[in-house]
Amino acid sequence: MNKEQFLTVMKIFVQEGGKIVLRYIRDSSPSLKPDQSIITEADKAISVLAHELLKEFLTRGDHILIDEEDEQRGRYLNQAKLAPIPYLWAIDPIDGTRNYANRMPNFGISIGLLKDLKPWLGMVYFPLLNELFYCDGQEAYFVQNAFGDLEHRERIIPVDQVISKQSIFLLTDSFFQSFDWDNKDCHVMIPACAVVDLCWPAIGRGCGAILKSYLWDFAGSWPICHAAGLFLRSLSTGRVLDRLQEDLFMQDPKPWRLKDYYILSSERNYPILKAKISQTRGQKS
């Protein structure tokens, strides 16, 4: 197998997933999962699609799949099980499901492929915006009017955005439960969608983001960000997240959720953005 075959499967997944979300968008039948997050019929259908498309790989023994909608997804969160597996897929059928259930456009379909536990190939599709982001293992691309006759693709060139009053920093929706923000030079926005937080800064729609996400929330965007010169750095240590390690994630009841908050930014902007964040009393996880 080669990366072109993997990328072809990824494109089929996001394109067909996009058709599914549009089919269900006016009657998505949202319901609550035990953790109080939302799931829709589209989430379930896209999850089934992923398993069908990846079935050939998953039966080989050298591929595993971490699917948000798989109740057994925590079984692989063990370094001894992860280390021998060269290929790890992670999917989020719909990131920003609450937005989708309310027919807002800021949601995406995400798929990432890690190689030797490092980010490699990634793809994120925003069906209502008709925008596609992907990384082919070396370069990242932004595609407008994706999958249509007017499709326009451009390579993402790293831009180290200067922090100013024009700048926007993207926040997770739980940010103000734990932190305060100094907006003197940079204002904030809460898209309530991790793939927006990660993909938009890659093309200059924001100077960065902070998040405390699950693996499937960032796996598809991870290599795109790296190609764009943006890295996830631990808020507490400054360490770059560049490899999958068991000890960076929570176990049950929230397996695959990062233990720490991470700032997405250029190397130069990390200390500038970190200095604007102050912890509130009684910080919540």
Peptide bond into 253 cis (omega under 30): yes
**Residue where a domain stops, chosen among 155, 184, 215:** 155
- Is the pLDDT at 87 greater than 50, yes or no? yes
Confidence of residue 285 (pLDDT cuts 50, 70, 90): very low
Residues 229 and 141 in one domain: no
- Domain, as residue range, for 129: 3-155
Asked if the structure places residue 188 within a domain, the reply is yes
**Residue where a domain stops, chosen among 99, 125, 155:** 155
Residues 215 and 253 in one domain: yes
What whole-number percentage of the chain has pLDDT above 70? Answer: 98
Asked if the structure places residue 284 within a domain, the reply is no
- Mean pLDDT for 85-114 is 97
- Mean pLDDT for 59-83 is 93
- Is the pLDDT at 212 greater than 70, yes or no? yes
- 32-46, 103-117, 160-174, 265-279: least confidently modelled range: 32-46
- Encode pLDDT of 71-82 as tens digits: 889 999 999 999
- Mean pLDDT for 209-228 is 98
Asked if the structure places residue 161 within a domain, the reply is no
CATH number of 263's domain: 3.40.190.80
**Residue where a domain stops, chosen among 107, 133, 155:** 155
- Is the pLDDT at 241 greater than 80, yes or no? yes
Asked if the structure places residue 241 within a domain, the reply is yes
CA-based nearest residue to 11, from 107, 122, 148: 122
pLDDT for res 1: 66
- Encode pLDDT of 108-132 as tens digits: 999 999 999 999 999 999 999 999 9
- Is the pLDDT at 159 greater than 90, yes or no? no
**Structural domain total, the chain:** 2
- Mean pLDDT for 195-218 is 97
Confidence of residue 32 (pLDDT cuts 50, 70, 90): confident
Residues 121 and 149 in one domain: yes
Residues 175 and 118 in one domain: no
pLDDT for res 27: 85
Better pLDDT: 30 or 264 = 264
Residues 136 and 184 in one domain: no
Q: DSSP of 197-253, one letter per residue?
A: HHHHHHTTSSSEEEE--BHHHHTTTHHHHHHTT-EEEETTT--B--S--GGGB--TT
Asked if the structure places residue 163 within a domain, the reply is no
CATH number of 43's domain: 3.30.540.10
Residues 18 and 87 in one domain: yes
CA-based nearest residue to 197, from 276, 107, 123: 107
The CA-atom distances, in angstroms, between 249 and each of 76, 110, 132, 214 are 12, 20, 28, 8
Mean pLDDT of the chain: 95
pTM: 0.95
Confidence of residue 33 (pLDDT cuts 50, 70, 90): confident
Asked if the structure places residue 160 within a domain, the reply is no
Q: What single DSSP character describes residue 73?
A: G
Phi, psi of 145 (to 5 degrees): 50, 45
Residues 213 and 116 in one domain: no
